[in-house]
Amino acid sequence: MATAGGAGRPEKRKAITLAATVVFGREGYVRASMDAIAAEAGVSKRTVYNHFGDKEALFLSVALQNSAELTEKIRDLMAKYLDRVVDLRQDLVDFAVERARAVLSAGEHGALGRAIRAEVANIPADVLGAWLEAGPVASLRDLAAHFEALSERGLLAVEDAALAAEQYTLLTFHPVADRSFWGALPVADEEVERIAAAGVDAFLRIHGAPAPAEG
């Protein structure tokens, strides 16, 4: 993978990044061309190459930026709902709903994620690995840390926090993601809330802390 050679003006780099997000999300990795990205950004193809070196480097930069932004948004939601738990079930449901909404409303960011998933066999392995690490893997790691802390407080019964994070995500998020084709189609708020509540109830049947013995 080539590295970008020129520094260039920040506003042009930002324009290229935004254009690449649109074009990669619309066309996918293989079909997207540097010509199309340059046209979308309103710059010359040479300018795109000066900033990013080649298509793989540009795709990696855009994918990591988009992934990191969504991961940070989800991290903020975890802090809001899971750092100071008042009602465990409700806080877990509210976090699940807000996380699903964040992904469903990701716009061009979501389109890029869909393109990556659709073309996973065509994405360079190092690019795919970096995107996973910055996004889905990082979010699971953050969630596992929260579940471990909740278990230490006696609010959950978790032996393997990483596994618990995967189970919670599978139960509360993936049904919404699959139904919406990862944000391509709308899902009614009521349905998102129903899926989140049912998923949390199933999760708590597995990992809910036992009630204290009476007497």
List pLDDT tens digits, range 95-143. 999 999 998 887 777 888 888 988 999 999 999 999 999 999 999 999 9
Average pLDDT over residues 197-202: 98
Structural domains in the chain, sorted by start: 64-207 (1.10.357.10)
**CA-wise closest residue to 100 among 204, 207, 195, 206:** 195
CB 147 within 8 A of CB 158: yes
List pLDDT tens digits, range 141-172. 999 999 999 999 999 999 999 999 999 999 99
Residue 47, H or E segment: helix 45-52
pTM of this prediction?
0.88
Instruction: Please give the single-letter amino acid code of residue 213.
Output: A
